[in-house]
Chains A and B, each alone.
Chain A
Amino acid sequence: MKEFLSELIEIPGVSGYEEQAARRIAREFSPYCDEVQTDSFFNVYGIKRGTAAQQASDRPKVMLAAHMDEIALMVRDIDDKGFIRFTNIGGVDQRILLAQEVTVHGRENLHGIIATVPPHLQAAEDSSKVVKMKDMSIDVGLPVKKVKERVRVGDLITFCSPLVTMQGSMVNGKSIDDRASVVMLTEVMKELDRLQYQAEVYCVATVQEEVGTRGAVISTYRTRPDIGIAIDVTHGETPDAAKEDTHAMDKGVVVCKGPNMHPGLTEKFLEVGKEYGLECQIGIAPRPTGTDARSIQISRSGVPTILLELPLRYMHTTVETLNLNHIKAGARHIALFIASLKEGWQEWLSY
């Protein structure tokens, strides 16, 4: 599990350019499901048809969604000294950019550094100011002519930050949002193989979540699920963040409540957790969430949706920190929930 996460976060999968990540994910899904499909936008569908033979009309189709795309940068211009100007793809925090190591995906991959003015050369008032992304540039160590031969406007730039194992079960690295949840999809499939279940399960690794849950829009339309389960990350507690906005890193996955989520189904999900002694925390989202759940819920005629989240520290940085135990625990919880969908499952959808 950790090996797959480690490999996955190093595969570039910038929103809109997920093909390579999709291929790797499809390969990982393949042994654990009946069929793997990939659509023209590179959403990957791992389909499990269920273990119990059922009348087609009375078994639910459950769609799980975890996004494979990552936030990144994109070349906006190259200046006359060969420094690369860039913009963001997804919610990049400009405060953490200076002196980061990056890979510029030009005609060949170039290692680059986001340039920064040394403290010695900063004016007194500059040291307390945030440098704006529009004023930053990337140095790839080549003269302008060679840069322009290798790099064009629109080329992608990803962060370099491989998975690091910390103490206990904690790891950190880039793009754990939301590759950890993609790994969880695989774990759900493995758990399901140990259970009897009737549902038809579509484990979808979605694209373009970071730019507006766009992969979820089209993949949910295509899948036509009866029930949707989005898996994403939420904020883990840190000393400087408000307690009410964060969750413990060691008290289980977060089940999110709010108008974006189906109340009855969410209660059932929590009951299944209680029944099997699985610890979880409650999250609150008073508005449509920023996750795939946002679009799954309002696809076609509407889809009752649950949102499960992994507490993550330092979201949208290169040192996103996660408790690996939560991947396993969340996967088991989802698999047991799916196995609990038996005859009369439609009643769970009533308000």
Chain B
Amino acid sequence: MKTLLAHLTGLYGPSGKEEAVRQAIQQEIKDYVDEIHEDVMGNLIAVKKGNGSGRKVMLAAHMDQIGLIVTNIDENGFLRFSNIGGVSPFNVLHRRVVFQNGVTGAVSYETELEEIKNLKLNKMYIDIGAASREEAKKLVQIGDIAVYHAPMADRENRFFGCAMDDRAGCAVLVETIKAVKNSPNELFFVFTVQEEVGLRGARTSAYSINPDIGISLDVTITGDTPKSRPMAINLGDGPAVKVKDSSLICHPMVKNLMIQRAEEAGIPYQLEVLEAGGTDSGAIHLSREGVPSGVISIPCRYVHSAHEMVDKNDLENAVKLLTRILENEIA
């Protein structure tokens, strides 16, 4: 898990430019699935056929990560940018970022700003060390996207780095693909694109797959750091069975199935009520005539920062829980 996660989180993959992540995952799983293809949106869809008696299940984890898109290059070579997905000015301030071609830069801001709390992305810029517009243009073009440059670090069971949202979910799906041996269900593992900009890959892949059940894997916030916003989720206390977020209210049948499978196998789990934020199941459950859907969430501190932190036990228990759900009948 550690090696896989370090590999996946180190790859460049902002929304719309997920190819490196897709290729890496394809390499990891191709020998464990019956079919694999990439659709026109760039979603990677891998199928494990069931024995024909079960349900058609769509599993989703998103490959994309948030990023900074260059909107202007000024005469002195400073890059102005806009956000791809939910980028907080405070999370990117004085971070090192990297472009697809490996060019790195530092994010800073107009220091004449009197109150730092008024910091907005339009008062910020990326400095790639270029002395002029001409020099900068040799390295970066308008429309290029930078992501955090923050290789994964770890201590004991804790992993931290950028893009745990949602490469951690991708890693859980990859390990689940390897772990699931006999399933009565037809399993569509979808590594989705463009979640961070509105669940867009999940929407189209759910439409084309037309599943009976949808389950997505994504990170959720925790409430276990000093004076954090209240949230009854702790890092390391187990994967979370989502009850609701702002994109969906999990179908009671799917939620209860997750709880039942966790309890009968003694897998630790938590219940998640997320007040803001959404994930791929939000799009999946409203596809066509409706797809009963749920979410297994991976507790994660500092979501959307360069140092998202997850726990190894939560990841491994998420694999166990998901495997157990998939290997059994789904009502």
A positions within 8 Å CB-CB of B: 15-17, 19, 39-41, 74-77, 85, 87, 89, 134, 152-154, 208, 211, 214, 217-219, 221-222
7 contacts between A and B (CB under 8 A): A40-B251, A74-B243, A74-B273, A77-B223, A87-B273, A153-B272, A218-B290
A208–B251 Cα distance when bound, in Å, is: 11
User: Which among B249, B273, B289 is the interface contact of A218 at CB below 8 angstroms?
Assistant: B289
User: Which among B251, B271, B292 is the interface contact of A154 at CB below 8 angstroms?
Assistant: B271
| Apart from A153-B273, A222-B290: 6 A-B pairs, beta carbons within 8 A | A15-B249, A16-B251, A40-B292, A76-B231, A87-B273, A218-B289
**Closest-CB distance, A303 to chain B (whole angstroms):** 15
CB contact under 8 A between A153 and B243, given known A15-B249, A16-B249, A77-B230: yes
User: Which among A15, A40, A75, A87 is the interface contact of B290 at CB below 8 angstroms?
Assistant: A40
**Closest-CB distance, A305 to chain B (whole angstroms):** 18
Contacts of B252 in A (CB 8 A): 16-17, 19
- For residue B247, which residue of chain A has the nearest CB? A212
B240-252 vs A: 1/0 string, CB under 8 Å?
A: 0001100011111
- For residue B249, which residue of chain A has the nearest CB? A16
User: At the interface, yes or no: B288 with Cβ under 8 Å from chain A?
Assistant: yes
B211-238 vs A: 1/0 string, CB under 8 Å?
A: 0000000000001000000111000000
B286 touches A218 (CB 8 A): yes
User: At the interface, yes or no: B275 with Cβ under 8 Å from chain A?
Assistant: yes
**Closest-CB distance, B209 to chain A (whole angstroms):** 16
B271 touches A76 (CB 8 A): no
Size class of the B contact interface (CB-based, 8 Å): 20 to 34
B290 touches A76 (CB 8 A): no
Contacts of B249 in A (CB 8 A): 15-17, 89, 208, 211
Contacts of B232 in A (CB 8 A): 76-77, 153
B271 touches A221 (CB 8 A): no
**Closest-CB distance, B287 to chain A (whole angstroms):** 8
A16–B242 Cα distance when bound, in Å, is: 13
**Closest-CB distance, B199 to chain A (whole angstroms):** 13
Contacts of A85 in B (CB 8 A): 230
CB contact under 8 A between A76 and B230, given known A16-B252, A89-B249: yes
Contacts of B243 in A (CB 8 A): 74, 153-154
User: Which among A17, A75, A134, A222 is the interface contact of B273 at CB below 8 angstroms?
Assistant: A75
A74–B252 Cα distance when bound, in Å, is: 14
CB contact under 8 A between A134 and B271, given known A40-B292, A154-B243, A214-B286: no
A39–B251 Cα distance when bound, in Å, is: 12
Contacts of B253 in A (CB 8 A): 40
A75–B272 Cα distance when bound, in Å, is: 10
CB contact under 8 A between A76 and B273, given known A89-B249, A153-B243, A154-B243: yes
Which one of A15, A75, A85, A218 has the highest number of Cβ atoms from chain B below 10 Å of its Cβ?
A: A218
- Nearest first, the 3 A-B pairs at minimum CB distance are A16-B249, A154-B243, A218-B290
- For residue B270, which residue of chain A has the nearest CB? A153
A76–B245 Cα distance when bound, in Å, is: 12
Contacts of B230 in A (CB 8 A): 76-77, 85, 134
A222 touches B275 (CB 8 A): no
Contacts of B273 in A (CB 8 A): 74-76, 87, 153-154
Contacts of A16 in B (CB 8 A): 244, 249-252
Contacts of A41 in B (CB 8 A): 251, 290, 292
A87–B289 Cα distance when bound, in Å, is: 29
Contacts of B244 in A (CB 8 A): 16, 74, 89, 154
A153 touches B290 (CB 8 A): no
CB contact under 8 A between A221 and B292, given known A85-B230, A154-B273: no
- For residue A69, which residue of chain B has the nearest CB? B249
A16–B247 Cα distance when bound, in Å, is: 12
Contacts of A89 in B (CB 8 A): 244, 249
CB contact under 8 A between A152 and B286, given known A74-B243, A77-B232: no
A219–B286 Cα distance when bound, in Å, is: 10
- For residue B213, which residue of chain A has the nearest CB? A40
- For residue A218, which residue of chain B has the nearest CB? B290
CB contact under 8 A between A222 and B271, given known A16-B249, A16-B252, A19-B252: no
Which one of B273, B275, B289, B290 has the highest number of Cβ atoms from chain A below 10 Å of its Cβ?
A: B290
Contacts of B248 in A (CB 8 A): 214
Contacts of A15 in B (CB 8 A): 249
- For residue A135, which residue of chain B has the nearest CB? B230
B103-134 vs A: 1/0 string, CB under 8 Å?
A: 00000000000000000000000000000000
A314–B285 Cα distance when bound, in Å, is: 32
**Closest-CB distance, B63 to chain A (whole angstroms):** 26
Contacts of B251 in A (CB 8 A): 16, 40-41
B289 touches A222 (CB 8 A): yes
**Closest-CB distance, B116 to chain A (whole angstroms):** 25
A221–B244 Cα distance when bound, in Å, is: 23
A219–B187 Cα distance when bound, in Å, is: 26
CB contact under 8 A between A39 and B290, given known A74-B243, A153-B232: yes
In chain B, residues 249-288, which have Cβ atoms closer than 8 Å to a Cβ of chain A?
249-253, 255, 270-273, 275, 285-286, 288
A304–B291 Cα distance when bound, in Å, is: 26
A153 touches B271 (CB 8 A): yes
A261–B285 Cα distance when bound, in Å, is: 26
**Closest-CB distance, B275 to chain A (whole angstroms):** 5
Which one of B231, B250, B275 has the highest number of Cβ atoms from chain A below 10 Å of its Cβ?
A: B275
User: Which among A77, A208, A211, A221 is the interface contact of B289 at CB below 8 angstroms?
Assistant: A221
**Closest-CB distance, B290 to chain A (whole angstroms):** 3
**Closest-CB distance, B208 to chain A (whole angstroms):** 15
**Closest-CB distance, B330 to chain A (whole angstroms):** 13
